[in-house]
């Protein structure tokens, strides 16, 4: 299986990891904060550290349904301990009566004076209802101590983190009802191509349904961005310049697909040179080679950054994930996560890709107990089927053939890489 296109070795291509580092460095966080209700904060980026308001847990409480007691009183009572108190969750803090124990439930405050909780499975009750315990009981057993997780005033979540279900739960558990987050990143999306038609329109030979537009809108929404949809645009320098000028004035970032290669129908480069500039163009990756970072206006710092993704949809997807995503995250005030890679054996052989690192879309086969990477389908940069099935990328260095059974760097996640 191969991509179907010859490897064209283009001089001056930037190394993939160097390009990723440049994208990360170039991303300036946008200004602007909002206070939002915690329930509406999923996916948003925290603008300030979130601190605990309470010790967590707030009081010593029981980790089990059982009996709270003093261990020395249990040891000194061969005829068992009478149950003198009942403490359900939600009860206030009480004191354990001398010489007795308390029936207690998970999450209920441990009565003052008790130094262990025995789970009910380890307790036998005699006819008089007295508690007998088999075996040893460690000091503090089954007691969740006040403040053992965090203390009031401690930083729970650092600024720049994205609020997910667990972090929202963490803040809710502290009684926090609203958070200060970065405003949403405004991204102008420009798809280019005379051939593009929208899904739902009648097809004619030569027409191509716009698949990258829906894909990028989905990916941008997944990052909590607001999308200003300005495409598809016709393949003329005038049409592109008009749309990019509008994008420049209304967005924090322009994401453009197609028209970024070298043919005379590809105008992104020339229009960028006219309306702004180019930081780099061309990365030694397959797919995704014509990827570009540029700007509209005075400079990358002062103007509106523009990311040019290649037209082939899979090249666009890979360019988004490995290069555009860290830039988007940086503009959102996030610290982009390092690219994860760990060795996985290839279950296939394949010829080398000349001059470019190849990002093969693979599935992991666990049937033998350890993972084996298998091609998820056709690897052409126009073939979305494999991308939709893949579990991740096998990253193959340039000019390196893949040999079955040898291990290569595997990067998990091909769609919502975070
Ligand atoms: N002589 C050369 N030709 C090409 C080179 C090269 O180095 N020398 N590079 C190839 C590579 S690699 C790629 S990737 C493509 C990228 O080209 P463009 O970014 O200029 O993209 P287009 O030419 O506009 O389109 C390419 C292909 O993708 C389809 N397309 C475009 N937009 C969409 C969309 N929104 N949804 C679905 N499909 C889309 C378009 O119809 C074309 O088939 O250039 C190679 N050529
Ligand atoms: O082969 Mo291009 O690199 O299709 O992205």
Task: Give pLDDT tens digits for 213-267.
Answer: 999 999 999 999 999 999 899 999 999 999 999 999 999 999 999 988 877 878 9
| Residue 150: DSSP 8-state | B
- What CATH class has 342-412? mainly beta
How many other CB atoms sit within 10 Å of the CB of residue 212? 30
Domain ranges of the chain: 16-33+184-331, 34-55+152-182, 61-144, 342-412
Q: Which residues of 23-48 are buried (b: 16+ CB within 10 A; e: fewer)?
A: bbebbebbeeeeebebeebebbbbbe
pLDDT bucket at 413, cuts 50 / 70 / 90: confident
Cross-strand partners of 306? 254, 294
Task: Quote the mean pLDDT of the chain.
Answer: 94
Give CA separation, 148 vs 107, 144, 176, in Å.
14, 7, 19
Predicted complex: ipTM over 0.90: yes
Q: Is the pLDDT assigned to residue 347 strictly greater than 80?
A: yes
Task: Give pLDDT tens digits for 125-163.
Answer: 999 999 999 888 999 999 999 999 999 999 999 999 999
> pLDDT value at position 2?
42
381 CB under 6 A from ligand 1?
yes
> pLDDT value at position 269?
92
CA of 277 relative to ligand 2 center, distance in Å: 23
Q: What is the CATH number of domain 34-55+152-182?
A: 3.90.105.10
Nearest CA to ligand 2 atom 3: 287
> pLDDT value at position 288?
96
Report the CATH fold assignment for 16-33+184-331.
Molybdenum Cofactor Biosythetic Enzyme; Chain A (3.40.980)
- Predicted TM-score (pTM) above 0.80: yes
> pLDDT value at position 418?
54
What are the pocket residues of ligand 2 if the criterion is a CB atom closer than 6 Å to any ligand atom?
Answer: 286-289, 310, 312, 315, 381
| Contact predicate 363/394, CB 8 Å | no
CA of 146 relative to ligand 2 center, distance in Å: 57
Ligand 2, atom nearest to 312 Cα: 4
Listing from the earlier edge strand, what are the strands of the sheet with 226-229? 226-229, 186-191, 253-257, 304-309, 292-296, 276-281
Q: What is the CATH number of domain 61-144?
A: 2.170.190.11
Give the 3-state secondary structure of residue 388. helix
Nearest CA to ligand 1 atom 25: 311
Nearest CA to ligand 1 atom 33: 311
Ligand nearest to the CA of 287: 2
- Could you tell me the two tokens for 344? 């996985």
322 CB under 6 A from ligand 1?
no
353 CB under 6 A from ligand 1?
no
Q: Is the pLDDT assigned to residue 361 strictly greater than 90?
A: yes
Q: Is the pLDDT assigned to residue 9 strictly greater than 70?
A: no
Place of tokens 């990052």: 223
| Residue 320: DSSP 8-state | I
CA of 12 relative to ligand 1 center, distance in Å: 19
């Amino acid at each position: 299986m191969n991509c179907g296109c010859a490897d064209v070795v283009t001089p001056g291509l930037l190394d993939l990891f160097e390009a990723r580092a440049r994208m990360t460095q170039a991303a300036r966080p946008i200004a602007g904060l909002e206070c939002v209700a915690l329930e509406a904060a999923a996916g948003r980026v925290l603008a300030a550290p979130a601190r605990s308001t309470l010790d967590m847990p707030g009081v010593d409480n029981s980790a089990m349904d059982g009996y709270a007691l003093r261990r020395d009183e249990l040891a000194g009572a061969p005829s068992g301990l009478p149950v003198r108190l009942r403490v359900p969750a939600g009860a206030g803090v009480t004191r354990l009566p001398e010489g007795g124990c308390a029936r207690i439930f998970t999450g209920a405050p441990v009565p003052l004076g008790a130094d262990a909780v025995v789970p009910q499975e380890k307790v036998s009750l005699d006819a008089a209802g007295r508690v007998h315990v088999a075996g040893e009981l460690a000091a503090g057993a089954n007691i969740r101590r006040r403040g053992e997780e965090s203390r009031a005033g401690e930083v729970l979540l650092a600024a720049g983190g994205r609020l997910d279900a667990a972090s929202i739960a963490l803040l809710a558990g502290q009684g926090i009802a609203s958070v200060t987050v970065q405003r949403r990143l405004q991204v102008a999306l420009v798809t280019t191509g005379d051939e593009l038609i929208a899904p739902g329109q009648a097809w004619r030979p030569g027409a191509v349904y716009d698949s990258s537009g829906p894909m990028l809108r989905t990916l941008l929404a997944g990052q909590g961005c607001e999308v200003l949809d300005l495409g598809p645009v016709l393949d003329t320098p005038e049409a592109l310049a008009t749309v990019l000028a509008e994008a420049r004035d209304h967005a924090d970032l322009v994401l453009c697909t197609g028209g970024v290669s070298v043919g005379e129908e590809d105008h992104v480069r020339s229009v960028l040179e006219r309306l702004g500039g180019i930081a780099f163009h061309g990365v030694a990756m397959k797919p995704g080679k014509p990827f570009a970072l540029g700007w509209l206006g005075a400079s990358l710092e002062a103007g509106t950054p523009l990311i040019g993704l290649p037209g082939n949809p899979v090249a666009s997807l890979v360019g988004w994930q490995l290069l555009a995503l860290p830039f988007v995250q940086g503009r959102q005030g996030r610290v982009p996560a390092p690219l994860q890679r760990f060795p996985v054996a290839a279950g296939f052989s394949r010829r080398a890709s000349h001059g470019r690192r190849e990002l093969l879309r693979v599935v992991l086969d666990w049937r033998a107990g350890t993972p084996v990477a298998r091609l998820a389908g056709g690897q052409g940069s126009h073939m979305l089927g494999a991308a939709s099935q893949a579990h991740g990328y096998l990253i193959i260095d340039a000019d390196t053939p893949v040999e079955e059974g040898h291990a290569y760097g595997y990067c998990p996640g091909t769609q919502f890489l975070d």
